[in-house]
Every structure is written in C-alpha cells, then in structure tokens.
C-alpha cells in the first residue's frame, strides 16, 4: 500500500547546500516546542527562545563580516526564514526583521560607530521601523530625534534600533530635489528607545511588534544615513547594493512559505488517524483530502521554486557587478507577493480539510491560519505592491518610490 509521507525536517534534506544553516534552525525545535504555550499568548517571544535565536546567529544573517557577521547568501537567508516559519511564525518573523532589515543596514554607517552600538560578547539583534513617523532636527554634529513608530517587531530583545525620520528644517519637513520629504535613517542603542508595550494581535502574537518612542535623543552624524542611500545603496559590496525593498522581500517571502509547508505536514499527520464523525474511513482515504493535499503541495512547490529561482537570478546580477534593474526588482516583488498569496491559500485549505480538529489549540492549524494572515497584511504581500511590476511589464515607468 502506498503511504503519503510528510516532507523531511529541514536538517534532513540531504545534499541541500543550505544544510548547515538549516541544521542550526533545527536546534531550536525542542526549545520552541517547550515554550509553545507562551508563544501562543505573547506579546513577545519567551526570553529563552529569543536568546537562543540570537545566540544561533539567526538575527544577524546579513551583518557585514567586518562587524562579525556572516554575510549569508540570499538563498540561504530565504531557506533559513522558511525553516524557522515551519517551527513558528513569530520566531521566523523576528528573524526576518532583524536579519533582513537592521543587520543589513549596518553596512551603511561607519563601522566603528556601529560597533559601539553592539553589546560586547553578544551577537547582533535589530529592530526598528521603515515608516518615517519620527523627526530628525539638525543639532550640531548630529540630529535630535523625537517620535513614535509602530510595528517595531522584536524590540524587547534588540540591541540596535533602526528608525526612519523626516528631516525637519525651520519647523517644516525638508524637501529633496524631487520635491519629496527628505528622510533620514538613524541607528541607536535600543536601550535609548522606550517600548510602549501595546502589541495585541490575533496572529504573530509573540512577534513583539510594539510601538516605540524616542524623546529628545541626540544621535551623531556617524550613526545616521540619508534615506535615499538606504533605498538604493551605491558603491557597496554586492549584498549591500541590493535595493532595500528587494532585500526585505527576500527575507519576507520565507515566512508564508514555511507556514504553508508546516500546514501541509500537519494535515498529512492528522489524516493518518482521524476518521471524521459519521465517516467510515480516515481522512487519508478520502478523495477530497487527497486532492486538497496534492493541490497544496503543487502550489507551494511552484511558489517556492519561483522565489528561489528569482532570488538566484537577482543575486547573480548583483554578484557579477550588474545593476539590479527595475525589471529584476519587479520580479522579486512578484515572487514575494506570490509566496504570500499561495501561503494563505495553502494554510486555509489545510485548515478546512482538518475539519473540527482545526479549531483546537493543541493542534497547529488555527495558529498557522492566524499567523499567515497576520503576516500577509504586511505591505510586502499586498496586491497594491503589484502595480509597479504591472506597469513595468506594460512598458511603463514604475511611478513609485520603490518597487
């Protein structure tokens, strides 16, 4: 008799070039399982899980080697975030934010200035916000920072906060050459940032995406960078030449892919033993369940292949010194959007196939459903983000500040 087998755990994918990093992810599995109840409540990662994530180096995947980081290949970052999401959505989200955002931005400022922000003897952990809801006012050889930022995931455990601010001049937002508000990225020790402690959400419950506040904090020039250089860096090593939006999309794509993978595996496990009330055979012998699993596996395979193929192609362009064109930026945007689209479809279909069992908190279906929908409310996965790619495909200008 043929028996459907679930996919091997990340560390068991023989011959996978990502094997070493996936093995590191796998070491967190027992700890995450031990703290499953706390992860279901939030609002932050349990401290042992957060510290283990940091100690494993999974919050600094794109930190420059000059700062003690690994400068991890983009495909391996995608794989690591995907594998973490198989274990828990909030854990994966925190790693994606820290590694895909703050750790990569560290290359944009003076090495000594960044090194001074990082606690001695501890690996990098970052948080912050890309929304310029704070203000930066020139004050001598630095900037006076004030404001409140939302969605600062992992802020309780970060050592460095990266925050975007509007530059204020003469009491008004300063405008750039294009007539748009000038934005400045600022880096500061997270101990100088007040965590409001207001995260309370249905999904990604333990991501700790609180609001943060800065009140009259002075930051030297060396710890700031013009916003345009963050969006489109120049004269850097290939990894740090990737446009900000494209790099963030690479890390973000792994979260819904991993959640989808875990939901299929959970349904396959349940289907071996569950016979629905009034039914005569277990779920695995029902054709509708067989079709649902096959469709889910096919869709996930397509989304995962599209993401990996696109990241590989984009990285090849950057690594060989070619500019990352708007067409390539559009393609990575499409891949990230499709990962979210398929992730929602797959997790929803597995939840429905599980029947009444799906509502039980002892099983992962409800958590996966909450997490994938919370994840995909982020702008990275929104339909509106397909407008610039669509315009580019139709031979129009992107007509957007970023793709």
Q: Are residues 374 and 262 in the same domain?
A: yes
Shared domain for 191 and 302, answered yes or no, is no
Q: What is the mean pLDDT of the chain?
A: 93
Task: Render pLDDT for 35-48 as a digit per residue (tens, 0 to 9).
Answer: 999 999 999 999 99
Give residue 6's pLDDT band: very low, low, confident or very high (50, 70, 90): very low
- Over residues 218-239, the pLDDT tens digits come to 999 999 999 877 777 666 788 9
Same domain, 38 and 65: yes
Domain ranges, residue 160: 125-226
35 and 137 inside one domain: no
Tell me how far apart the alpha carbons of residues 54 and 56 are, in angstroms, rounded to a whole number: 5
CB-count exposure of residue 340 (10 Å: 0-12, 13-18, 19+): buried
Domain assignment present for 118: no
Residues 378 and 320 in one domain: yes
330 part of a folded domain: yes
Tokens for 171, please give them: 């009491």
Same domain as 359, residue 214: no
In this structure, what CATH number is given to the domain that contains residue 65?
A: 1.10.540.10
> Is residue 33 domain-shared with residue 81, that is, in the same domain?
yes
Q: Please indicate, yes or no, whether residues 222 and 242 belong to a single structural domain of this protein.
A: no
Q: Is residue 305, in this structure, part of any structural domain at all?
A: yes
Residue 166 within any structural domain of the chain: yes
Q: Tell me what pLDDT residue 87 has.
A: 98
**Is 154 inside a domain boundary?**
yes
1 inside domain = no
Q: Is 157 found in the same domain as 57? A: no
Tokens encoding 128: 């912050």
Per-residue confidence (pLDDT) for residue 2, from 0 to 100: 41
Residues 242-290: pLDDT tens digits? 988 999 999 999 999 999 999 999 999 999 999 998 888 999 999 999 9
Write down the pLDDT at residue 237. 86
Judgement on whether residues 143 and 191 belong to the same structural domain of the protein:
yes
Which H, E and C letters describe the chain, residue by residue?
Answer: CCCCCCCCCHHHCCCCCCHHHHHHHHCCHHHHHHCHHHHHHCCCCCHHHHHHHHHCCCCCCCCCHHHCCCCCCHHHHHHHHHHHHHHCHHHHHHHHHHHHHHHHHHHHCCHHHHHHHCCCCCCCCEEEEEEEEEEEEEECCEEEEEEEEEEECCCCCCCEEEEEEEEEECCEECECCCCCECEEEEEEEHHHCEECCCCCCCCCCCCCCEEEEEEEEEEEHHHEEEHHHHHCCCCCCHHHHCCHHHHHHHHHHHHHHHHHHHHHHHHHHHHCCCCCCCCCCCHHHCHHHHHHHHHHHHHHHHHHHHHHHHHHHHHHHHHCCCCCCHHHHHHHHHHHHHHHHHHHHHHHHHHHHCHHHHHCCCCCHHHHHHHHHHHCCCHHHCHHHHHHHHHHHCCCCCCCCCC
Domain boundary among 73, 105, 137: 105
Is residue 4 very low, low, confident or very high in pLDDT (cuts 50, 70, 90)?
A: very low
Select the more confidently predicted residue: 261 or 399: 261
358 inside domain: yes
User: The domain that contains 270 carries what CATH number?
Assistant: 1.20.140.10
Provide the token pair at 253. 């794509």
pLDDT at position 323 is 86
279 assigned to some structural domain: yes
Mean pLDDT along residues 54-68: 95
Q: Select the more confidently predicted residue: 1 or 219.
A: 219
Share of the chain above pLDDT 90, in %: 82
Mean pLDDT of the region 350-355: 98
What mean pLDDT comes out for the span 208-226?
96
Q: Do 318 and 297 fall into the same domain?
A: yes
Query: What's the pLDDT band for 9 if we cut at 50, 70, 90?
Result: very low
The reply to whether 216 and 245 lie within a common domain is: no
Assess whether pLDDT exceeds 70 at residue 339. yes
Q: Work out how many domains the chain is built from and give that number.
A: 3
Tens-digit pLDDT profile for residues 125-144: 999 999 999 999 999 999 99
The alpha carbon of residue 284 and the mean position of all alpha carbons in its chain are separated, in whole angstroms, by 34
Higher-pLDDT residue of 316 and 16 is 316
């Amino acid at each position: 008799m043929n028996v459907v087998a679930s996919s091997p755990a990340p560390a068991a994918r023989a011959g996978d070039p990502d094997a070493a990093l996936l093995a590191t992810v796998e070491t967190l599995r027992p700890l995450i399982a031990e703290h499953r109840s706390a992860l279901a409540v939030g609002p932050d990662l349990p401290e042992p899980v957060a510290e283990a994530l940091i100690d494993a180096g999974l919050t600094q995947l794109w930190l420059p080697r000059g700062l003690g980081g690994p400068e991890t290949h983009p495909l391996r970052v995608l794989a690591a975030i995907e594998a973490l999401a198989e274990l828990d959505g909030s854990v994966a989200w925190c790693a994606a934010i820290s590694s895909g955002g703050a750790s990569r931005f560290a290359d944009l400022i003076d090495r000594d200035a960044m090194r001074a922000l990082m606690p001695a003897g501890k690996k990098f952990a970052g948080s912050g916000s890309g929304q310029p809801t704070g203000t930066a006012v020139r004050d001598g050889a630095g900037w006076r920072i004030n404001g409140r930022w939302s969605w600062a995931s992992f802020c309780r455990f970060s050592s460095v906060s990266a925050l975007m601010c509007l530059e204020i001049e003469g009491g008004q937002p300063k405008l750039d050459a294009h007539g748009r508000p000038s934005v400045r990225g600022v880096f500061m020790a997270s101990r100088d940032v007040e965590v409001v402690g207001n995260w309370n959400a249905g999904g990604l419950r333990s991501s700790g995406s609180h609001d943060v506040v800065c009140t009259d904090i002075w930051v030297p020039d060396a710890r700031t960078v013009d916003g345009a250089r963050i969006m489109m860096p120049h004269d850097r090593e290939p990894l740090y030449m990737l446009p900000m939006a494209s790099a963030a999309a690479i890390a973000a794509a792994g979260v819904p892919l991993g959640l989808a993978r875990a939901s299929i595996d959970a349904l396959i496990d349940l289907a071996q033993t569950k016979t629905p009330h009034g039914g005569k055979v277990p779920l695995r012998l029902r054709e509708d369940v067989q079709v649902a699993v096959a469709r889910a596996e096919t869709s996930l395979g397509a989304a995962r292949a599209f993401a990996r193929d696109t990241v590989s192609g984009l990285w090849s362009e950057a690594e060989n010194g070619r500019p990352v064109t708007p067409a390539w930026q559009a393609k990575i945007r499409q891949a990230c959007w499709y990962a979210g689209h398929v992730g929602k479809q797959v997790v929803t279909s597995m939840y429905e196939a599980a029947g009444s069992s799906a509502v039980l908190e002892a099983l992962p279906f409800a958590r996966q459903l909450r997490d994938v929908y919370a994840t995909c409310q982020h702008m990275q996965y929104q339909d509106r983000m397909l407008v610039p790619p669509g315009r580019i495909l139709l031979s129009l200008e992107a007509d957007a500040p970023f793709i």
